[in-house]
Structure 1
Amino acid sequence: MATVAELMEANLLRVFNERDDERRRAAVAATYATDVTFADPEGVVTGHDDLDAKAKGLLEQSPGFVFTAAGPVLINHDLGHLAWAFGPEGAPPVARGIDVALVEDGRIKKLYTMLLPD
Protein backbone atom coordinates (compact mmCIF):
# COMPACT_ATOMS: atom_id res chain seq x y z
CA MET A 1 0.00 0.00 0.00
CA ALA A 2 1.37 3.43 -0.96
CA THR A 3 2.26 5.93 1.74
CA VAL A 4 0.75 9.40 1.93
CA ALA A 5 4.07 10.85 0.72
CA GLU A 6 4.20 8.47 -2.26
CA LEU A 7 0.62 9.35 -3.21
CA MET A 8 1.30 13.09 -3.02
CA GLU A 9 4.35 12.73 -5.25
CA ALA A 10 2.46 10.50 -7.69
CA ASN A 11 -0.36 13.05 -7.87
CA LEU A 12 2.04 15.81 -8.85
CA LEU A 13 4.59 13.98 -10.98
CA ARG A 14 2.92 10.84 -12.37
CA VAL A 15 -0.52 12.35 -13.00
CA PHE A 16 -0.44 16.12 -13.41
CA ASN A 17 3.03 16.10 -14.97
CA GLU A 18 2.45 13.13 -17.33
CA ARG A 19 1.74 13.95 -20.97
CA ASP A 20 1.40 10.32 -22.13
CA ASP A 21 -2.31 9.44 -21.89
CA GLU A 22 -1.80 5.74 -21.15
CA ARG A 23 0.79 6.27 -18.42
CA ARG A 24 -1.29 9.07 -16.85
CA ARG A 25 -4.46 6.93 -16.79
CA ALA A 26 -2.54 4.07 -15.14
CA ALA A 27 -1.20 6.50 -12.52
CA VAL A 28 -4.73 7.85 -11.92
CA ALA A 29 -5.99 4.31 -11.26
CA ALA A 30 -3.13 3.60 -8.85
CA THR A 31 -3.26 6.93 -7.00
CA TYR A 32 -6.90 7.87 -6.43
CA ALA A 33 -10.07 6.28 -5.07
CA THR A 34 -12.56 5.61 -7.87
CA ASP A 35 -14.86 8.34 -6.50
CA VAL A 36 -12.07 10.85 -5.85
CA THR A 37 -13.12 14.49 -5.57
CA PHE A 38 -10.70 17.13 -6.88
CA ALA A 39 -11.31 20.82 -6.18
CA ASP A 40 -9.36 23.81 -7.45
CA PRO A 41 -10.28 27.48 -8.00
CA GLU A 42 -11.90 26.56 -11.35
CA GLY A 43 -14.32 24.01 -9.91
CA VAL A 44 -14.79 20.45 -8.73
CA VAL A 45 -14.49 17.17 -10.62
CA THR A 46 -15.29 13.66 -9.41
CA GLY A 47 -13.95 10.28 -10.49
CA HIS A 48 -11.01 8.97 -12.47
CA ASP A 49 -12.21 10.04 -15.93
CA ASP A 50 -12.90 13.65 -14.96
CA LEU A 51 -9.66 13.97 -13.00
CA ASP A 52 -7.69 12.54 -15.94
CA ALA A 53 -9.40 15.00 -18.29
CA LYS A 54 -8.54 17.85 -15.92
CA ALA A 55 -4.84 16.91 -15.88
CA LYS A 56 -4.76 16.40 -19.65
CA GLY A 57 -6.44 19.73 -20.33
CA LEU A 58 -4.03 21.61 -18.08
CA LEU A 59 -1.02 20.06 -19.82
CA GLU A 60 -2.44 20.66 -23.30
CA GLN A 61 -2.91 24.36 -22.63
CA SER A 62 0.64 24.64 -21.22
CA PRO A 63 3.07 23.03 -23.70
CA GLY A 64 6.60 22.76 -22.34
CA PHE A 65 5.49 23.48 -18.76
CA VAL A 66 6.34 21.10 -15.91
CA PHE A 67 5.37 20.71 -12.29
CA THR A 68 8.11 20.50 -9.69
CA ALA A 69 7.86 19.94 -5.96
CA ALA A 70 8.65 23.10 -3.99
CA GLY A 71 9.42 21.37 -0.73
CA PRO A 72 8.91 18.11 1.10
CA VAL A 73 5.61 16.34 1.55
CA LEU A 74 4.13 17.23 4.93
CA ILE A 75 1.96 14.61 6.59
CA ASN A 76 -0.52 14.60 9.45
CA HIS A 77 -1.97 11.08 9.78
CA ASP A 78 -4.12 10.64 6.63
CA LEU A 79 -3.61 14.19 5.32
CA GLY A 80 -0.83 15.17 2.92
CA HIS A 81 0.41 18.59 1.82
CA LEU A 82 2.80 19.33 -1.05
CA ALA A 83 3.86 22.73 -2.38
CA TRP A 84 4.59 22.94 -6.10
CA ALA A 85 5.71 25.24 -8.91
CA PHE A 86 4.57 25.19 -12.57
CA GLY A 87 6.22 26.76 -15.56
CA PRO A 88 8.46 26.28 -18.58
CA GLU A 89 11.13 23.66 -17.98
CA GLY A 90 14.36 25.32 -16.83
CA ALA A 91 12.74 28.73 -16.34
CA PRO A 92 11.15 30.47 -13.34
CA PRO A 93 7.64 29.20 -12.58
CA VAL A 94 4.58 31.12 -13.68
CA ALA A 95 2.38 29.62 -10.95
CA ARG A 96 2.85 28.24 -7.47
CA GLY A 97 0.43 26.40 -5.26
CA ILE A 98 -0.20 23.67 -2.75
CA ASP A 99 -2.03 20.38 -2.90
CA VAL A 100 -3.76 18.99 0.17
CA ALA A 101 -5.07 15.42 0.02
CA LEU A 102 -7.10 13.16 2.26
CA VAL A 103 -6.02 9.52 1.94
CA GLU A 104 -8.30 6.55 2.63
CA ASP A 105 -7.42 2.89 2.15
CA GLY A 106 -4.16 3.67 0.36
CA ARG A 107 -5.63 6.04 -2.25
CA ILE A 108 -6.31 9.78 -2.44
CA LYS A 109 -10.02 10.30 -1.68
CA LYS A 110 -10.15 14.11 -1.72
CA LEU A 111 -7.68 16.52 -3.30
CA TYR A 112 -7.65 20.29 -2.99
CA THR A 113 -5.38 22.59 -5.01
CA MET A 114 -4.82 26.16 -3.92
CA LEU A 115 -2.92 28.74 -5.93
CA LEU A 116 -0.51 31.00 -4.12
CA PRO A 117 -0.48 34.72 -4.87
CA ASP A 118 2.43 36.10 -6.91
Structure 2
Amino acid sequence: MATVAELMEANLLRVFNERDDERRAKAIAETYAPDVTFADPEGVATGHEELNAKARALLAQSPGFVFSAAGPALVNHDLGHLAWAFGPDGEPPVVRGIDVALVEDGVIKKLYTMLLPA
Protein backbone atom coordinates (compact mmCIF):
# COMPACT_ATOMS: atom_id res chain seq x y z
CA MET A 1 0.00 0.00 0.00
CA ALA A 2 1.34 3.43 -0.95
CA THR A 3 2.15 5.99 1.71
CA VAL A 4 0.46 9.39 1.77
CA ALA A 5 3.70 10.97 0.51
CA GLU A 6 3.90 8.47 -2.37
CA LEU A 7 0.27 9.20 -3.30
CA MET A 8 0.96 12.95 -3.33
CA GLU A 9 3.90 12.44 -5.68
CA ALA A 10 1.90 10.04 -7.88
CA ASN A 11 -0.89 12.61 -8.14
CA LEU A 12 1.53 15.25 -9.37
CA LEU A 13 3.97 13.26 -11.49
CA ARG A 14 2.18 10.08 -12.61
CA VAL A 15 -1.21 11.70 -13.24
CA PHE A 16 -1.08 15.44 -13.87
CA ASN A 17 2.35 15.28 -15.51
CA GLU A 18 1.56 12.23 -17.69
CA ARG A 19 0.69 12.95 -21.33
CA ASP A 20 0.11 9.29 -22.29
CA ASP A 21 -3.60 8.49 -21.80
CA GLU A 22 -3.08 4.80 -20.98
CA ARG A 23 -0.33 5.39 -18.42
CA ARG A 24 -2.32 8.22 -16.84
CA ALA A 25 -5.49 6.07 -16.61
CA LYS A 26 -3.50 3.28 -14.93
CA ALA A 27 -2.00 5.74 -12.44
CA ILE A 28 -5.45 7.18 -11.69
CA ALA A 29 -6.83 3.71 -10.93
CA GLU A 30 -3.93 3.09 -8.51
CA THR A 31 -3.92 6.51 -6.85
CA TYR A 32 -7.54 7.59 -6.27
CA ALA A 33 -10.79 6.23 -4.87
CA PRO A 34 -13.36 5.54 -7.63
CA ASP A 35 -15.50 8.43 -6.32
CA VAL A 36 -12.59 10.84 -5.78
CA THR A 37 -13.47 14.52 -5.59
CA PHE A 38 -10.99 16.97 -7.11
CA ALA A 39 -11.53 20.69 -6.55
CA ASP A 40 -9.53 23.55 -8.01
CA PRO A 41 -10.34 27.23 -8.67
CA GLU A 42 -12.08 26.24 -11.94
CA GLY A 43 -14.53 23.76 -10.45
CA VAL A 44 -15.01 20.24 -9.14
CA ALA A 45 -14.42 16.91 -10.88
CA THR A 46 -15.78 13.67 -9.45
CA GLY A 47 -14.59 10.17 -10.28
CA HIS A 48 -11.78 8.76 -12.39
CA GLU A 49 -13.19 9.80 -15.77
CA GLU A 50 -13.71 13.45 -14.85
CA LEU A 51 -10.31 13.64 -13.15
CA ASN A 52 -8.66 12.11 -16.23
CA ALA A 53 -10.44 14.61 -18.48
CA LYS A 54 -9.24 17.45 -16.26
CA ALA A 55 -5.60 16.31 -16.44
CA ARG A 56 -5.82 15.72 -20.21
CA ALA A 57 -7.28 19.19 -20.85
CA LEU A 58 -4.70 20.92 -18.66
CA LEU A 59 -1.81 19.23 -20.45
CA ALA A 60 -3.34 19.84 -23.89
CA GLN A 61 -3.53 23.58 -23.28
CA SER A 62 0.05 23.66 -21.95
CA PRO A 63 2.33 21.94 -24.50
CA GLY A 64 5.90 21.61 -23.29
CA PHE A 65 4.95 22.43 -19.69
CA VAL A 66 5.85 20.08 -16.85
CA PHE A 67 4.98 19.81 -13.18
CA SER A 68 7.70 19.53 -10.56
CA ALA A 69 7.54 19.19 -6.80
CA ALA A 70 8.59 22.35 -4.97
CA GLY A 71 9.74 20.52 -1.86
CA PRO A 72 8.89 17.30 -0.08
CA ALA A 73 5.37 16.09 0.62
CA LEU A 74 4.19 16.98 4.10
CA VAL A 75 2.04 14.43 5.89
CA ASN A 76 -0.19 14.54 8.98
CA HIS A 77 -1.84 11.13 9.43
CA ASP A 78 -4.27 10.84 6.47
CA LEU A 79 -3.67 14.35 5.11
CA GLY A 80 -1.01 15.18 2.53
CA HIS A 81 0.33 18.51 1.23
CA LEU A 82 2.63 19.01 -1.74
CA ALA A 83 3.79 22.31 -3.22
CA TRP A 84 4.42 22.31 -6.98
CA ALA A 85 5.54 24.40 -9.92
CA PHE A 86 4.33 24.26 -13.54
CA GLY A 87 5.96 25.74 -16.61
CA PRO A 88 8.05 25.13 -19.71
CA ASP A 89 10.55 22.31 -19.28
CA GLY A 90 13.91 23.68 -18.17
CA GLU A 91 12.61 27.21 -17.58
CA PRO A 92 11.22 29.07 -14.55
CA PRO A 93 7.64 28.07 -13.69
CA VAL A 94 4.73 30.25 -14.71
CA VAL A 95 2.35 28.85 -12.08
CA ARG A 96 2.88 27.63 -8.53
CA GLY A 97 0.41 25.94 -6.24
CA ILE A 98 -0.24 23.39 -3.56
CA ASP A 99 -2.18 20.15 -3.51
CA VAL A 100 -3.87 18.97 -0.32
CA ALA A 101 -5.30 15.45 -0.23
CA LEU A 102 -7.32 13.35 2.16
CA VAL A 103 -6.34 9.69 1.97
CA GLU A 104 -8.68 6.81 2.89
CA ASP A 105 -7.96 3.11 2.56
CA GLY A 106 -4.65 3.72 0.79
CA VAL A 107 -5.97 6.00 -1.98
CA ILE A 108 -6.76 9.69 -2.39
CA LYS A 109 -10.41 10.35 -1.57
CA LYS A 110 -10.43 14.16 -1.81
CA LEU A 111 -7.96 16.43 -3.54
CA TYR A 112 -7.80 20.22 -3.42
CA THR A 113 -5.52 22.35 -5.60
CA MET A 114 -4.81 25.96 -4.68
CA LEU A 115 -2.87 28.38 -6.84
CA LEU A 116 -0.31 30.60 -5.15
CA PRO A 117 -0.13 34.32 -5.93
CA ALA A 118 2.40 35.25 -8.62
Structure-1-length-normalised TM-score? 1.00
Q: Which residue in 1 is equivalent to 2:25?
A: 25
Q: SS of 2:10's equivalent?
A: helix
CA RMSD for the aligned pairs?
0.2
Aligned residue identity for 1:31: T
Question: Runs in 1 of length 4+ with deviation above 2 angstroms?
Answer: none
Which one-letter code corresponds to 1:83 in the other structure? A
Count of aligned pairs between the two proteins: 118
Report what 1:74 is aligned to: 74
TM-score normalized by the length of structure 2: 1.00
Gaps of 5+ in 1: none
Match of 1:65 in 2: 65
Distance 1:53 1:20 in 2: 12
What amino acid does structure 2 have at the position aligned with 1:2?
Answer: A
Cα distance, 1:22 vs structure 2: 0.2
Matches of 2:30 and 2:54, distance apart in 1: 17
For 2:45 and 2:63, locate their aligned partners in 1 and report how far apart those are by CA, in whole Å. Answer: 23
List aligned pairs for 1:1-118, cutoff 5 A.
1-118=1-118
Identity of aligned residues (%): 83
* Structure 2 portions without partners, runs of 5+: none
Q: Tell me which amino acid in the other structure corresponds to 1:42.
A: E
